[in-house]
Structure 1
Amino acid sequence: MNTKIINEYADKNNLSQIKLNLGSGGRPMKGWINIDNYDYEKNDSSRSGSIYDIKMDIRDLDADDSTVDEILLSHVIEHFVRWETIKMLKHYFNKLKYGGKLIVEMPDLDRCIAWYIRQKHTPSIKTPNGIMNMGLTQFYGNQWDELDYETHRYVWRLDEFTQVLQEIGFTIESASHQAVFHQKERDMFVIGVKL
């Protein structure tokens, strides 16, 4: 059996744990294997760059099953349609070790709706196409830079997302609106564990 790219990278770099930061964009994390499939494009106003250790399509992680300790997706899942996300989550479940964690932060549809309504007459983000309400941008993502991968395809509700994780086999360790990377109260932060 051939060793997979991610496992080879971990071995080559003497990593005691395989922790994957998927869709790393311009925010690589120390101690993690940063993976992205897109190079930075100068007209991309949503990202500050693309810094990755491995260039790979995150829909099909090239890693041995049951070898990954943690998978982090910070504002990535909303860039995929619902059915594709479910396929990805099942794939990630297989890649994780028992006791491994899936950590996800992304906008929560219910919170985005409320935020938009509260602030709909208060534009809050400057885009090349003018100033827009930040709540509205969460529904659709970046629609102005003409980069397909920057648009939002599906915005989940917290209860819906945790139910899907449980159906796949994850145990929910925590699920809240205490975002770590972006907007507290608007974004959900979920940790699922493979037990």
Structure 2
Amino acid sequence: MMSILFPSAVPQPSNLRLNLGCGYRPMEGYVNVDLYGTPDLVLDLETFPWPWSDNTVAEVQLIQVLEHLGRDPKVYLKIWQELYRICKPRGRLIIEVPHHRHDNFYDDPTHVRAVTPLGVRMFSQRLNREWNQRGYACSSLGLNLGVDFELRDISYQPSSVWFQRHPEPEVNWQLLLRESQVYNNLIQSLRMVVEVMKPT
């Protein structure tokens, strides 16, 4: 385990893969980073700037992490700016979070915010411009912060409550999404793949 005291001393390969907020779940082939657990690098992700150079990171894993970060919205938005800064063009973020309507989200007192697909889409400059033209009230976070991300894929993990209600082996995904707008605890978590949009 190494504590980062001097960011300029951290090696800067050009194709880094980071597992941020790794806790006790390090991943092979990644630089595992956390303030706690068993990381390769000890780092408070709410302290800036992060110790990686611009355009050096190809992939960032954020597994059950973002919901713990940025109680202050300014800190949360700065995290997205740092992700954009360090990532290469066409780099990707793998984000897994508890579903905001599942008890797992509410039970943990260290969960400070819901992370939703629409919240991630607000960092897309393409969508910001489209929404502004249509007069939508969504925050233009991509344009305001100088970042640009595109949400490319979303997958959902149904909960045990869903399978109690619908024990059939094949999940009806459209029904799951419709019912989850009405009932809590049907989706346990979601996984999003986000692409970093930068000029090459």
TM value normalised by structure 2: 0.62
- Which residue does the alignment assign to 1:132? none
The AA in structure 2 aligned to 1:22 is L
* Alpha-carbon distance between aligned partners in 2 of 1:165 and 1:72, rounded to the nearest angstrom: 19
The AA in structure 2 aligned to 1:169 is D
Is 1:176 matched with 2:155?
A: yes
The AA in structure 2 aligned to 1:21 is N
Q: 1:173 to 1:82 in 2, by over 3 A?
A: farther
- Which residue does the alignment assign to 1:185? 187
Deviation at 1:173, TM superposition (A): 1.7
After superposition, residues 1-195 of structure 1 pair within 5 angstroms as: 4-6=8-10, 8=11, 17-38=15-36, 50-59=37-46, 60=48, 61-80=50-69, 81=71, 83=73, 84-110=75-101, 112=102, 135=103, 137-141=104-108, 143=109, 151-164=110-123, 167=142, 168-178=147-157, 185-195=187-197
SS at match of 2:94: strand
Q: 1:184 to 1:57 in 2, by over 3 A?
A: farther
1:69 and 1:100 in contact (8 A); partners too: yes
* Alpha-carbon distance between aligned partners in 2 of 1:17 and 1:178, rounded to the nearest angstrom: 30
Deviation at 1:176, TM superposition (A): 2.7
Gaps of 5+ in 2: 1-5, 126-141, 159-184
| Moved beyond 4 Å, runs of 4+ | none
Deviation at 1:193, TM superposition (A): 1.0
Deviation at 1:175, TM superposition (A): 2.0
2:19 and 2:30 in contact (8 A); partners too: yes
SS at match of 2:123: helix
Deviation at 1:58, TM superposition (A): 1.8
2:120 and 2:151 in contact (8 A); partners too: no
Gaps of 5+ in 1: 39-49, 113-134, 144-150
Deviation at 1:77, TM superposition (A): 0.7
The AA in structure 2 aligned to 1:161 is V
Q: 1:3 to 1:51 in 2, by over 3 A?
A: closer
* Alpha-carbon distance between aligned partners in 2 of 1:104 and 1:184, rounded to the nearest angstrom: 19
Deviation at 1:57, TM superposition (A): 1.5
Q: 1:4 to 1:192 in 2, by over 3 A?
A: farther
